[in-house]
A and B are shown apart, each in its own frame.
Chain A
Amino acid sequence: MAGPRHPDDRWFWPAVALALLMALGYASIYYVEQTKDRSFASLPEATREELAELTVVAEASAEVEREWVKEGFGGEEYLTAPVGPLPCAGAADALPPRDRAAAREAIALHGDGDAETRIERLSTIADTEPDNLIVALVFATELIDAGRAAEADRVISQTLDRTQDDERVIAAARAPRTRLDLSDQNVSTVIHLHHALGVARLGQSGAAPPWKSLKNVIGSVKPLSNLRLIGTSRGAPSWSKLLIAAPGCTATGTASLSSYDLYNNLIAGYMRGGRFEGDDAMRQREFSRPPRTYPSPVRQLLDAQVERAKANGWQNESQLWALSNVEQLLDWRRPDDARLNLNAIQVLDWWLAGDRCPAEVCTPELRKGLAATKDELLEQAFLRRNVAPDQQRPFAQAVTRMLAGSNIPRTRIADAATAVREWLPQSQSSSLADLSAADGARSELPRWITGLAAEDAQPPEAPLGTRAAAWRKAADRDFAAAAATWGPGGRRASSGRCSSRSGSCSARRRRRRR
């Protein structure tokens, strides 16, 4: 608009703008100062140092992490041990003369041509020698390897129906002073054959229950350590790791079945089928154990569940037998078998879920003890990760899911987790990486909250990308819970996954005691 201007307009409006800016600036400074003065960062230095070393129990953040692996990381799936290796050429020599030619021919087919051709030729040999256990073993192994579990089941079942050799060996193995020739080869053949039958039945739905064959092999393993030495150590119990060479094979090692494989499949069979019922004598044999002064958490769980089963008419008996076998195995030592460890954790989880373990049985102390046992098993599973290539993906998915719910310091298995990530599909491997990153972030967070982190440091949750915001909110909640129970001098919560810059809960407790 044209016309004369008020002479004070030159300074008035800029001055008004400046005044508003000053007011806004003052408000900002006021806001920042007031909120900062009431944050953890404004607490005295000594207090902040103590809070930064606070042991934070991950509850809310662990719940968020479990959400990351809720979908697509498998469910209650029991991994089965594969069928054992094929017999060696020497297996035929130990057979009666009339059976040797067919056995030699069957064994010689190993690696000859494609699988279909071998199966056709083995079928012909088996038709001419229907009661030859070595032929049946080779034939069934080839069928199982080709994914034809139902046919393998039929082949082995028909052969076992025609002969009593296996029954005699099993019965003799259980007798303290047998006159039957319990050569390594005879016992090994029976074990491998029944194991193959178990694998075949576990590999198909609607098949006959695999328990008899699976239980038979365990029964047959016992003389291995009592009478002779296919296994690694004389006198070792069957639930320790015994290697059972394939028939005719002298060397143990890769061409061996392990007693862990046998236990693994027995446990998988009990859990998958869930219909096993024993009689009173069997139950007495299985569940009667000498009392312990300091029973393990698994033993306490088993004893309590056996008592409950007696009272409720042996509900969930099949799973109880699985738990009993897990207890036997763990009582000896933590198996160095990743598959077995994984299945053992799942059995424990099954018994801890829902109303299967009421509060009077599963006390907080027992649950804490069992959680520690599961953590040991999971750590061992990560570190060993000795599973067949075709089971690597389900194994990786299961251990990732379990890791999210465990209290293992993830830095301890960092290298193993990196290796396991390779087995996961691209879309899922980031979840395992995030679980590891979350553990690091959790230990850094107290220093960040208390303002003791380096000034140019990124927020600890930054590596979590799009998951960072939700995780941080939950982690703040965990820190708040820890801070609320903190008092000068350091009174601390003592359960659950812990994090502090200086290590695990136990390390903190040790330092505190010192």
Chain B
Amino acid sequence: MLVAIRQLLGASAPPKAVTDLEAKRSATDRLRIRLAASKWWWGFLAALSAVVMALVFVWVLVTVRDARALRTSFYNVELEYLRSSDRPPTDKDLA
């Protein structure tokens, strides 16, 4: 109930009835309640988890990309590129 009340109030100063009720709790409890009720706190955790998740995904993707790169012939890639272009290869290109 206290968490829901605190969440409803947001940053507003609580009424006396609420502070009286909170006063019966320990300081740790009060801190836990305040954190659990804070939308900023959950926003921070959500952002943090999003960053972690994004880093994991990107790491996986980069790893896959690197693994595939080991099996890729870049000479063929370049040759395909040159074939597809209109310009005939010059000595400089072939060098």
Using a CB–CB cutoff of 8 Å, the interface residues on chain A facing chain B are 3-8, 12, 15-16, 19-20, 22-24, 26-28, 30-31, 34-35, 38-40, 42-43, 59-60, 449, 473, 476-486
- Which B residues between 3 and 22 are near A, CB-CB below 8 angstroms? 3-5, 7-9, 12, 14-18, 20-21
Main secondary structure of the interface of A (DSSP, over half): helix
Tell me if B50 and A481 are in contact (CB < 8 A): no
- Which B residues between 36 and 83 are near A, CB-CB below 8 angstroms? 36-37, 39, 42-43, 45-47, 49-51, 53-54, 57-58, 61, 65, 68-69, 72, 74, 77-78, 80-81
Tell me if A483 and B1 are in contact (CB < 8 A): yes
Tell me if B46 and A31 are in contact (CB < 8 A): yes
Measured CB to CB, the closest approach of chain A to B64, in angstroms, equals 8
Chain A residues lying within 8 Å of B78, measured Cβ to Cβ, are 4
Tell me if A480 and B72 are in contact (CB < 8 A): no
Tell me if A16 and B8 are in contact (CB < 8 A): no
Tell me if A4 and B12 are in contact (CB < 8 A): no
Q: In the bound complex, how far is the Cα of B56 from the Cα of A428, in angstroms?
A: 60
- Given A12, A22, A43, A485, which contacts B17 in the complex, CB threshold below 8 Å? A485
Tell me if B54 and A23 are in contact (CB < 8 A): yes
Q: In the bound complex, how far is the Cα of B46 from the Cα of A486, in angstroms?
A: 32
Measured CB to CB, the closest approach of chain A to B6, in angstroms, equals 8
Identify the interface centre among A42, A478, A485: most chain B CB within 10 Å of its CB: A485
Tell me if B18 and A484 are in contact (CB < 8 A): yes
Chain B residues lying within 8 Å of A19, measured Cβ to Cβ, are 54, 57-58, 61
Tell me if A476 and B3 are in contact (CB < 8 A): no
Tell me if B5 and A7 are in contact (CB < 8 A): no
Total count of chain B residues near the partner, CB < 8 A: 41
Q: In the bound complex, how far is the Cα of B53 from the Cα of A20, in angstroms?
A: 8
Q: In the bound complex, how far is the Cα of B39 from the Cα of A150, in angstroms?
A: 68
Chain B residues lying within 8 Å of A24, measured Cβ to Cβ, are 50
Tell me if A481 and B18 are in contact (CB < 8 A): yes
Main secondary structure of the interface of B (DSSP, over half): helix
Tell me if A480 and B49 are in contact (CB < 8 A): no
Starting from the known contacts A20-B57, A477-B14, A483-B1, 20 additional A-B residue pairs (CB-CB under 8 Å) come to A6-B69, A7-B72, A12-B65, A15-B61, A23-B49, A23-B50, A23-B54, A30-B45, A34-B45, A35-B42, A43-B1, A43-B4, A477-B12, A480-B8, A481-B17, A484-B1, A484-B5, A484-B15, A484-B17, A485-B17
- Given A8-B68, A27-B49, are A480 and B61 also a contact pair (CB < 8 Å)? no
- Given A22-B57, A480-B18, are A27 and B9 also a contact pair (CB < 8 Å)? no
- Given A480-B18, A484-B20, are A26 and B61 also a contact pair (CB < 8 Å)? no
Residue on B nearest A21 in the bound complex, by CB? B54
Chain B residues lying within 8 Å of A40, measured Cβ to Cβ, are 4, 8
Measured CB to CB, the closest approach of chain B to A166, in angstroms, equals 60
Using a CB–CB cutoff of 8 Å, the interface residues on chain B facing chain A are 1-5, 7-9, 12, 14-18, 20-21, 36-37, 39, 42-43, 45-47, 49-51, 53-54, 57-58, 61, 65, 68-69, 72, 74, 77-78, 80-81
Tell me if A38 and B9 are in contact (CB < 8 A): no
Tell me if A477 and B9 are in contact (CB < 8 A): yes
Tell me if B18 and A449 are in contact (CB < 8 A): no
Residue on B nearest A9 in the bound complex, by CB? B65
Chain B residues lying within 8 Å of A27, measured Cβ to Cβ, are 46-47, 49-50, 53
Residue on A nearest B77 in the bound complex, by CB? A4
Q: In the bound complex, how far is the Cα of B9 from the Cα of A476, in angstroms?
A: 6
Chain B residues lying within 8 Å of A473, measured Cβ to Cβ, are 12
Chain A residues lying within 8 Å of B54, measured Cβ to Cβ, are 19-20, 23
Residue on A nearest B73 in the bound complex, by CB? A7
Q: Show 16 residue pairs from A and B whose CB-CB distance is below 8 angstroms, ordered by the A residue.
A: A3-B81, A19-B54, A19-B58, A22-B57, A27-B49, A38-B7, A38-B37, A43-B1, A476-B12, A477-B14, A477-B15, A481-B17, A484-B5, A484-B15, A484-B18, A485-B17
Measured CB to CB, the closest approach of chain B to A399, in angstroms, equals 29
- Given B12, B49, B81, which contacts A26 in the complex, CB threshold below 8 Å? B49
- Given B18, B46, B72, which contacts A28 in the complex, CB threshold below 8 Å? B46
Chain B residues lying within 8 Å of A26, measured Cβ to Cβ, are 49-50, 53
Q: In the bound complex, how far is the Cα of B5 from the Cα of A25, in angstroms?
A: 27
- Given A4, A30, A35, A60, which contacts B49 in the complex, CB threshold below 8 Å? A30
Residue on A nearest B82 in the bound complex, by CB? A4
Measured CB to CB, the closest approach of chain A to B62, in angstroms, equals 8
- Given B9, B39, B42, B51, which contacts A480 in the complex, CB threshold below 8 Å? B9
Q: In the bound complex, how far is the Cα of B51 from the Cα of A8, in angstroms?
A: 24
Measured CB to CB, the closest approach of chain B to A449, in angstroms, equals 7
Tell me if B4 and A479 are in contact (CB < 8 A): no
Q: In the bound complex, how far is the Cα of B74 from the Cα of A28, in angstroms?
A: 41
Identify the interface centre among A35, A59, A485: most chain B CB within 10 Å of its CB: A35
